[in-house]
Amino acid sequence: MTGSGNNFYQVFHEFQNISFLLIASIIAGAFLMIYILQRLILALAKRVPGKFRLILPPMIPIFRLTILIAAFFSIVPLIIKPTVQNFIAIFGAVGLTLGFAFKDYFSSLIAGIVAVWEQPYRPGDWITVDEVYGEVQSLGLRSVLVLTPDDTLVNIPHSKIWNSSISNANSGKHTHLCIADFFLDPRHDAQAVRRRLLDVALTSPYLQLDRPVNVMVSEKPWGTHYRIKAYPVDGRDEFHFTTDLTVRGKSALSGLGVSHVTAPAITLKD
Amino acid sequence: MKDLWQFIPLGSYERLSEPKSEIARKGAKAFMDWLRRRKPAGVSVDIHAELRSIPQQMLDTVAPPPDWEDKTVALHDAVLPWINAEKPEYTSQVIIGAPGSGTRQTMEQLSLSHKWEFIEPPSPTEILTGGKEWLSVIKDSENTVVVIPELERCFIRHTDGLTLVRDFLDFVWERNQRYIIGCNSWAWSYLSRVLSIDSQFRNPLILRPFDGQRLEHWFRSMAQTTCKHTLIFRQSDNGEAILTVNQADGNKKEKSETYRDKESSDLLKIIAARSNGIPLVAWAIWRNCLQISADAIIEDEAQRAAKMDQGLTIWVRPWAQTELPAIPHEISKTDVFVLHAVLLHGGIHEDVLPMMLSIQQSTAVKSLQRLLQAGLIKEENGLWRTTLSGYPAVKKYLAAEDYLTDML
């Protein structure tokens, strides 16, 4: 017992030889560097033109992870005698203990590292995870912060990437597909309605004209379902864009004398 | 010798680039601004022209407003083979013009001189109600050539605003008459995306952009027509002679439609690049450069260079000190939409904006006032247009924000 206890202590440097000041400086330096880099990148992202604004923020978690790893590997040799056996022993013991106690937390941390490299989402992306839809505000080591259309911030742990499907609407691009729905009484000239809705989209000031615009039509038991599919110039305008399409679409359709189907009919699901 | 005014196929159009020294200066300035946490120049409009050293009358003498006579001749030469052809490949000739390239004026002069039918654009109300009467005027015309100078004002970016231009394009396609159609470069981009107009008219012509050499010759020939003195335009910081208007040559003036190859000054190259080679925009910037403030310091080096001048020395502001309108820091989405709409239609009525952008009349008015204050737009005959000197900033901003711009 005493022997194994001695072996355990042999892994570490003598207490009086450990430079706690240096360790504290490394930790403080690492967090200071992260803070400065984060501010610098965010300031730069605000100054670059709109179409480049999504390029810079995704670099933040990469830099943060790199700095933290560098800090970690700078600190470990200051505490542990740097031999292979020592590293295996100490990481094994710590890993086993913490793994049981903070299984989910560490799962999220590991998933956070995977998320940095695989990039299933980046700041500025519009994602859906377990029915939560919103814009990615920032990536932490443990979780991703999402702002929903209702202006609510939702913290989603990265570990969701292990077992949930993640829908990403724009995947790092400046814009993403938006859809405006119209549910109409089936007794109408579909050609005329489709043409009209196409014009509604093509004349919206929010429209990104370099991306395709489509009006999809499908017949349902309760009526005819029209979907305008188009991209706004700026993905952040998604709700203004779909509102604009809906308002002007309704006005244009009323000019054609087409009536909308009402709620009781819609409740009969597809 | 080359022709000063030249119409070229759109496919041959080449963008002008700034001199490397200016690109480096701009990069260094942007970096320094960023280090000092200073935002790029915001609103800086020359609204105090009366405080400048050059009175308006003098300005109009040394840099007078252009006439479009030479450009009209060039346009005539460009369309003549097509007009004279017995069986031309196509019945319509599109002339694309950037804002400030004087396309309408040129087409009007050309129509007048040949007695071609010149069709003014329809009113916004006519456009929104289908414009049958306007179309019937074109349909009923028996003139051999019909000129429609402003296609950009034959549609409105509104659900009801595309019908007329669609009908017009269908009609033109079917007829055998000759049509010369003028179209703003921004409207051309929009209609190409929305109505595939570029596949219907495959041979549009556009004015060759004015590079530094062309600008030098053009500015000189304009000054020669109005000024009786020899003029030496010198940069106020280093005394470099930008342009010399020698009245000894005034009587045997070079034909203004031709010019000799000669390296122009960096300032004129920068003006050419910044104006995108658009003559009127370059002219507005040039006039701005001549408006040195009354208390501006003329460097010793420049004054020494000017001592030898045998004529009137006109000081020109160096490019780094030029004050052109800029996009305000706190520009709203509505302001951006208004600017885009103004460019797309080559000018827009105030009453049309609320309907186009689904905004209140008061919101539209406030937005127009903000943009007017910033020197980016102005009202001319009831139409709001971008100012010539504000155009480069507006275009640069819209392009950076990923809005549809012209292809130039």
B190, B357, B402: residue with CB nearest A50: B402
**What is the share, in percent, of chain B residues with pLDDT greater than 90?**
55
> Residue B176 corresponds to which tokens in the numbers above?
């055998």
Contact between residue B213 and residue B278 where contact means Cβ atoms under 8 Å apart: no
**pLDDT tier for residue A2 given thresholds of 50, 70 and 90:** very low
Q: What is the pLDDT of residues B111-160, one digit of tens each?
A: 999 999 999 999 999 999 999 999 999 999 888 899 999 999 999 999 99
Tens digit of each residue's pLDDT (9 = 90 or more) over B363-403: 999 999 999 999 999 999 899 999 999 999 999 999 999 99
User: Chain A residue with minimal CA distance to B39?
Assistant: A47
User: For B168-174, what is the mean pLDDT?
Assistant: 88
H or E stretch at B258? strand B258-259
Q: Closest residue of A to B33, CA-based?
A: A47
Task: Enumerate the residues of chain B whose CB falls inside 8 A of the CB of residue A199.
Answer: 159, 162
Interface test with B, best of A40, A56, A209 (most B CBs within 10 A): A209
Distance from B290 to chain A by nearest Cα, in Å? 31
Task: Please check the confidence at residue A3 and state whether its pLDDT lies above 70.
Answer: no
- Token pair for residue B278? 């658009």
Q: What is the mean pLDDT of chain B?
A: 86
Cα–Cα separations (whole angstroms), residue A49 to A128, A168, B46, B321, B402: 27, 23, 26, 24, 9
Cβ of B158 within 8 Å of Cβ of A202? The answer is no
Nearest to B389 by CA among B259, B262, B283, B231: B283
Provide the H-helix boundaries in chain A: 2-10, 20-47, 59-79, 84-101, 103-118, 160-163, 190-202, 238-256, 263-266
Handedness of CA B63, B64, B65, B69 (dihedral sign): negative
Contact criterion met (CB < 8 Å) for B357 and A50 = no
CB B183 within 8 A of CB B152: yes
Token look-up 């002679």 returns: B241
Task: Spell out which residues of chain A touch residue B342, defining contact as CB-CB under 8 Å.
Answer: none
Which helix (DSSP H) or strand (DSSP E) does residue B231 occupy? strand B231-235
How far is B259 from B220, CA to CA, in rounded Å? 11
Q: Does A176 touch chain B (CB under 8 A)?
A: no
Q: Which residues of B touch A (CB under 8 A)?
A: 34, 157-159, 161-162, 190, 193-194, 333, 337, 340-341, 356-358, 400-404
Radius of gyration of chain B (CA): 22
Q: Which residue of B has its CA nearest to A240?
A: B333
Quote the radius of gyration of chain A (alpha carbons, Å).
Answer: 27
β-pair partners for B185:
none
d(CA B349, CA B206): 27
Dist. CA B66–CA B219, nearest whole Å? 9
Angle at A124 between CA A121 and CA A128, to 5 degrees: 50
- pLDDT single digits (tens) A249-266: 999 999 998 999 886 655
DSSP string, A142-174: SEEEEE-TTS-EEEEETTHHHHS-EEESSTTSS
Give the span between the Cα atoms of A197 and A60, in whole angstroms.
Answer: 41
Q: Which of B209, B379, B344 is nearest to B282 (CA)?
A: B209
- Record: contact A237-B333, CB cut-off 8 A: yes
Residue whose structure tokens are 């000041």:
A21
Which candidate from A202, A205, A209 shows the least CB-CB separation from B337?
A205
Tokens of A244: 């604009």
- Predicted local confidence at residue B249, as pLDDT: 56
Q: What is the pLDDT of residues A163-187, one digit of tens each?
A: 888 888 887 788 899 999 999 999 9
Confidence at residue B245, expressed as pLDDT on a 0 to 100 scale: 86
Cα separation, A229 vs A181, in Å, equals: 9
Answering whether pTM is above 0.95, one says: no
CA dihedral A100, A101, A107, A112 (to 10 degrees): -150
Note whether B402 contacts A174, CB cutoff 8 Å. yes
Cα distances (Å, whole numbers) of residue A65 to A31, A62, A114, A144, B381: 11, 5, 11, 14, 61
Evaluated on CA atoms B78, B79, B83, B88, the torsion sign reads positive
Give CA–CA dist A58/B211, Å, rounded.
41
Find the CB nearest B159 among A51, A240, A248.
A248
Half-sphere exposure of B204 (CA within 13 A, CB side): 24
The pair of structure tokens assigned to B174 is: 């079917």
H/E run at residue B128 = helix B124-128
Q: How does DSSP classify residue B156?
A: -
